[in-house]
């Protein structure tokens, strides 16, 4: 099982090219050990499915393992991460929730482990907008394990989604010692902190955190950290707070170059596209990235279960092209590409959290504001109304409304 954990963690980092020969050898070696243990055999099958790009099949096997044993924490954690990458919010929640009775009543569940289950449940509840229940589960989790960064992260999300910005900032400051040392999540938590500051329009404070915290984390080439750095710079750019030639972009670009042809996750590809933002300088890499993404997707088109390629095809490639078009100031092209993703409600397919995916709606809105064509203004108005309904006091929403008004009155 130690090898299963090692190989599963490697795959779920999402930086690996799925057809990587070295990884294939390691998986082959694991199979050749010919385990007779049914659980291990299923775990290896799940890894094989993921490695083959059949992400949904992999989650089905992890669920099968959880039917056999609700306390298979490896299956539970891998499924939890997988659902996150697949944007399957309901499953992030239900895969933990359906075992809750056992977690609460089985005397064999150590209290510490029960706390971590609560942390996972809290995040799942947040992603399906059950904020009160999510908050209760997260508080229970941190009462048991005060440095459970995933549970703290769930509270950070709840404050973000409720638009409780100052409360969120105070909570993160108060709990900083309990999350800032969590290597896997610290960078992401700083990104969340910057999101609050972004709402308040505090550009200088955001850039200070970017330079002193986030920029350091991205030296490790962890996709989650690179995604955060890229998304933050892109959000700042959308708001006109930094320029395309700001020197911060370069370090992120250089880090992404190491894994630019992985294509294991559309979400990563979209963030890669955000940082290669100047066609005059990056023409070759922009073209080779999109070409390689399309080639990879086409090469798997015969496999109807290849979730990875299907997601690239349905949302990943259109979103990457939309970002490229925006960076080329082709705003109508961005709008057309994103209309087919955002309006039918397909954005979640790209994965990540609700808070992370908001960057795509922001991109859509800014493209509409920047376009001289006003025919999409009713769509922008409808999206803005929904945003204001959810977060009436959001500074970011107020700025978007102002931009919309400027766009409508522009001749
Ligand atoms: Fe998050």
Q: Name the residue range of residue 371's domain.
A: 220-411
Task: Answer yes or no: pTM beyond 0.85.
Answer: yes
Look at residue 21 and tell me if it is in a domain: no
Q: Residue 185 Cα, ligand 1 centroid: separation in angstroms? A: 9
Q: Residue 188 Cα, ligand 1 centroid: separation in angstroms? A: 6
Q: Is the pLDDT of residue 411 over 70?
A: no
* Predicted pLDDT at 10: 86
Q: Residue 339 Cα, ligand 1 centroid: separation in angstroms? A: 25
Lowest mean pLDDT, pick from 11-15, 61-65, 91-95: 11-15
Look at residue 98 and tell me if it is in a domain: no
* Predicted pLDDT at 204: 97
Cβ-count burial 316-351 (b if 16+ within 10 Å, e if not):
bbbbbbbbbbbbeebbbbbbbbbbebbeeebbbbbb
Tens of pLDDT, residues 258-290: 999 999 999 999 999 999 999 999 999 999 999
Look at residue 176 and tell me if it is in a domain: no
Q: Residue 285 Cα, ligand 1 centroid: separation in angstroms? A: 29
* Predicted pLDDT at 107: 83
* Predicted pLDDT at 11: 87
Look at residue 71 and tell me if it is in a domain: no
Look at residue 295 and tell me if it is in a domain: yes
Q: Residue 157 Cα, ligand 1 centroid: separation in angstroms? A: 6
Look at residue 89 and tell me if it is in a domain: no
Tally of structural domains, the chain: 1
What is the Cβ-side half-sphere exposure of residue 195, based on CA atoms within 13 angstroms?
25
User: Which residues contact residue 272 at a Cβ distance below 8 angstroms, ignoring those fewer than 6 apart?
Assistant: 230, 256, 260, 289, 320
In this structure, is the dihedral angle defined by the CA atoms of residues 7, 8, 11 and 14, taken in order, positive or negative? negative
Q: Residue 353 Cα, ligand 1 centroid: separation in angstroms? A: 6
Look at residue 305 and tell me if it is in a domain: yes
Q: Residue 192 Cα, ligand 1 centroid: separation in angstroms? A: 7
Q: Residue 356 Cα, ligand 1 centroid: separation in angstroms? A: 7
Q: Residue 410 Cα, ligand 1 centroid: separation in angstroms? A: 37
Look at residue 408 and tell me if it is in a domain: yes
């Amino acid at each position: 099982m130690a090898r299963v954990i090692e190989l599963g963690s490697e795959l779920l980092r999402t930086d690996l090219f799925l057809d990587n020969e070295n990884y294939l050898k390691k998986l082959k070696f694991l199979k050749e050990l010919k385990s007779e243990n049914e659980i291990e055999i299923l775990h290896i099958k799940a890894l094989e499915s993921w490695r083959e790009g059949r992400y949904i099949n992999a989650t089905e096997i992890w669920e099968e393992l959880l039917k056999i044993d609700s306390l298979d924490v490896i299956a539970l954690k891998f499924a939890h991460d997988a659902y996150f990458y697949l944007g399957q919010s309901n499953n992030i929640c239900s895969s933990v929730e359906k075992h809750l009775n056992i977690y609460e009543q089985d005397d064999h569940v150590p209290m510490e482990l029960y706390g971590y289950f609560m942390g996972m449940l809290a995040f799942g509840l947040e992603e399906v907008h059950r904020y009160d229940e999510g908050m209760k589960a997260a508080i229970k989790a941190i009462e048991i394990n005060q440095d459970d960064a995933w549970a703290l992260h769930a509270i950070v999300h709840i404050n973000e989604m409720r638009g409780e910005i100052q409360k969120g900032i105070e909570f993160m400051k108060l709990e900083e010692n309990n999350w800032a040392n969590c290597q896997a999540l610290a960078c992401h938590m700083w990104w969340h902190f910057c999101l609050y500051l972004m709402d308040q329009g505090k550009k200088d404070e955001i850039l200070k955190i970017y330079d002193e915290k986030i920029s350091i984390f991205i030296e490790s080439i962890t996709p989650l950290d690179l995604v955060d750095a890229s998304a933050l710079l892109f959000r700042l750019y959308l708001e006109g707070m930094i320029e395309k030639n700001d020197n911060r972009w370069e370090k992120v670009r250089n880090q992404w170059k190491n894994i630019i042809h992985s294509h294991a996750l559309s979400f990563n590809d979209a963030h890669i596209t955000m940082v290669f933002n100047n066609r005059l300088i990056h023409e070759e890499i922009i073209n080779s990235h999109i070409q390689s993404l399309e080639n990879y997707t086409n090469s798997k088109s015969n496999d109807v279960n290849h979730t990875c390629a299907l997601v690239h095809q349905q949302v990943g490639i259109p979103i990457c092209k939309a970002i490229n078009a925006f960076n080329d100031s082709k705003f109508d092209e961005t709008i057309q590409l994103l209309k087919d993703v955002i309006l039918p409600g397909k954005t979640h397919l790209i994965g990540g959290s609700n808070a992370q995916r908001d960057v795509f709606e922001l991109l859509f809105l800014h493209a509409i504001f920047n376009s001289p064509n006003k025919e999409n203004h009713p769509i922008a108005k409808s999206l803005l109304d929904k945003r204001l309904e959810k977060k009436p006091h959001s500074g970011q929403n107020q700025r978007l409304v102002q931009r919309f008004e400027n766009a409508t009155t522009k001749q």
